[in-house]
Amino acid sequence: MSLLFEEIDSQTSPLGEISLRRRRIPAFGDRDIYEVKLGEEFLMSSMFVDAEEALADLGLDAVSGDGLSVIVGGLGLGYTAVAALKNERVNELLVVDAIETVIEWHRDEKVPLGKVLNQDSRCRYVKDSFFDLAVDPQRGFDPDQAGRKFDAILLDIDHSPTEYLNASNAGFYTSENLALMASQIKPGGVFAMWSQNLPEPKFEDLLKQVFPQVDAHIVRFYNPLQNCESTNSVYVCSV
């Protein structure tokens, strides 16, 4: 299969070389496909965004009320953040990412959804480690207001609860640290998390030690490269 390819940007980061690429596959017409790689590892492709959008939809559907304040952990190509902003009940969105380059791609509108996020006054970028902020309730996620609580925290950073973007992230997935994060969610709020794998019963059991209500959703979508159905998961945990 022939394709056209362009590397838009490549920068060093604390996790290694991170690059933004654009390609076209003639069989799919004039569609630009954006990809993010960390070293030789693919982090995200704009071909497969159903589950990233479902993370926002399923998470926010589990929260009642208006004027919602939302955290998105992991900016990626912006699909979860934009999906959250499509919900008219969202009053404020903080997108937390540890990699400055990824934030700059959006600020400089090198990625298609950068303009959408930049033009929405409800959206703010926070350059920091989601995992450090998650376990520090006194500091919290908002650099302008220490210790505040949010209606929803939507997480899409690691590949799964057992496959990590960075080995140091593993320490987050304990009942103690999940509880520290949960203490930053308002009563009636929600924590939702994306995974590339099917639901993992051991992780569901861990979540149930912290949250009174845990639901695991399988998100199915068509994979045009393999001409078959693919699946991701979204965990939704109510406080």
What pLDDT, in 10s, does the model give residues 85-105? 999 999 999 999 999 999 999
Segment 156-167 shows an average pLDDT of 95
Domain range enclosing 17: 4-45
Cα separation, 55 vs 52, whole angstroms: 5
Residues 27 and 65 in one domain: no
Residues 59 and 168 in one domain: yes
Number of domains in the chain: 2
Residues 73 and 159 in one domain: yes
Tally of CA atoms within 13 A in the half-sphere of 211 that contains its CB: 28
Locate 51 and state its tokens: 């589950």
pLDDT beyond 80 at 2: no
SS3 state at 20: strand
What pLDDT, in 10s, does the model give residues 29-41? 888 999 999 988 8
Residues 40 and 67 in one domain: no
- Strand (E) or helix (H) holding 83: helix 79-85
Residues 106 and 179 in one domain: yes
Query: Could you tell me if 185 and 236 are in contact, meaning their C-beta atoms sit under 8 angstroms apart?
Result: no
- Of 2-16, 76-90, 156-170, the range with the lowest mean pLDDT is 2-16
- Cβ neighbourhood burial of 238 (10 Å; 0-12, 13-18, 19+): middle
Could you give the C-alpha distances from 205 to 161, 171, 201, in angstroms and in order? 12, 17, 6
pTM value? 0.96
pLDDT of residue 205: 98
pLDDT of residue 202: 98
- pLDDT > 70: percent of the chain: 99
Neighbours of 179 (CB within 10 A): 14
CATH classification at residue 82: 3.40.50.150
Residues 9 and 66 in one domain: no
